[in-house]
């Protein structure tokens, strides 16, 4: 199977990058399933039902989120109706939405997508390692499901990598989100799981992680918040991770970064 994971979609620039590049990539690469992180897609903070529909229309099958999952209050009720949008599985019981989704592709393959949020330098949520184990308890890669994709939303590279190694051989792709910077460590672990610490963002890289520079710089220099952070509005770079899996085992055969448009050097599978 052929999988694409799109990094954090930041503001209008990120949405436009997805709409500009994803439909063609989906066709050219023959993608079976596309996952994208949409937690910054609504002016940098959260996601709305309208934007979720916009991303689905562009070809994103499953939308993950993260620490900004509920910045837009309207999304709380929407998450209970659209099973194609996830919030981290390790939010406490009673939180709206779900942390895992089982998707059937057009070819009939079963794909499990799970998201967790890490805890180092992040919010004090429930244990993400246990949450992943719970999500995988009823499924086995290559037997009950054809593909397992895990989005690890977090700050610390060590915590993301520990998650990847823990899931080696049990997931097809473990990929990090949240830092908005693409890492250069795309690899296949010894057990057959594809991994990249962070996919980067779909957004304008002439910015501070997707936000306009002046206010972001001022906050570091003065320690004061003068204005609301606003997304940068130049041409966005589409950043993603591409993965091919063995149809018999669900394990990875190939993984590589994808970058199109904007300021970063292009990368194609």
The catalytic residues are: 68
- Residue 138's CB: how many other CB atoms inside 10 A? 11
If phi over 0 gives left and psi between -120 and 50 gives alpha, with beta otherwise, what is residue 155? alpha
The dihedral over CA atoms of 261, 13, 153, 73, expressed in degrees to the nearest 10, equals -160
CB–CB of 38/51 below 8 Å?
yes
CB–CB of 80/87 below 8 Å?
no
Which residue has 């890492």 as its token pair? Answer: 183
Q: What is the bridge-based pairing of β-strands 238-245 and 252-260?
A: antiparallel
Alpha-carbon Rg for the chain, nearest whole angstrom, is 17
Strand pairing partners for 110? 104
The strands making up 147-153's β-sheet, listed across from edge to edge, are 100-104, 110-117, 147-153, 173-177, 194-196, 187-188
Burial of 221 (0-12, 13-18, 19+ CB in 10 A): exposed
SS3 256: strand
């Amino acid at each position: 199977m052929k999988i694409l994971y799109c990094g954090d979609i930041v503001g209008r620039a990120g949405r436009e990058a997805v709409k500009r590049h994803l439909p063609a990539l989906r066709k050219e690469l023959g993608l079976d399933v596309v996952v994208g992180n949409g937690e910054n897609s609504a002016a940098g903070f959260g996601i709305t039902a309208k934007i979720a529909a916009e991303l689905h229309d562009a070809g994103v099958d499953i939308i993950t989120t993260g620490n900004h999952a509920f910045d837009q209050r309207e999304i709380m009720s929407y998450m209970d109706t659209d099973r194609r949008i996830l919030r981290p599985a390790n939010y406490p019981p009673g939180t709206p939405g779900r942390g895992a989704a089982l998707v059937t592709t057009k070819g009939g393959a079963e794909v499990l997508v799970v998201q967790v949020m890490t805890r180092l330098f992040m919010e004090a949520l429930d244990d993400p390692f246990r949450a992943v184990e719970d999500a995988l308890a009823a499924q086995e890669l290559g037997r009950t499901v054809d593909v397992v994709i895990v989005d690890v939303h977090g700050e610390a590279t060590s915590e993301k990598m520990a998650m990847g190694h823990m899931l080696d051989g049990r997931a097809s792709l473990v990929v990090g989100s949240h830092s908005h910077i693409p890492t250069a460590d795309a690899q296949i672990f010894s057990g057959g799981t594809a991994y990249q610490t962070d996919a980067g963002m779909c957004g304008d890289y002439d910015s501070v992680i997707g936000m306009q520079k002046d206010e972001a710089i001022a906050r570091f220099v003065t320690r004061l918040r003068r204005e609301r952070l606003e997304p940068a509005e130049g041409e966005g770079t589409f950043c993603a991770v591409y993965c091919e899996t063995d149809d018999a085992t669900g394990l990875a055969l190939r993984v590589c970064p994808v970058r199109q448009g904007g300021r970063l050097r292009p990368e194609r599978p």
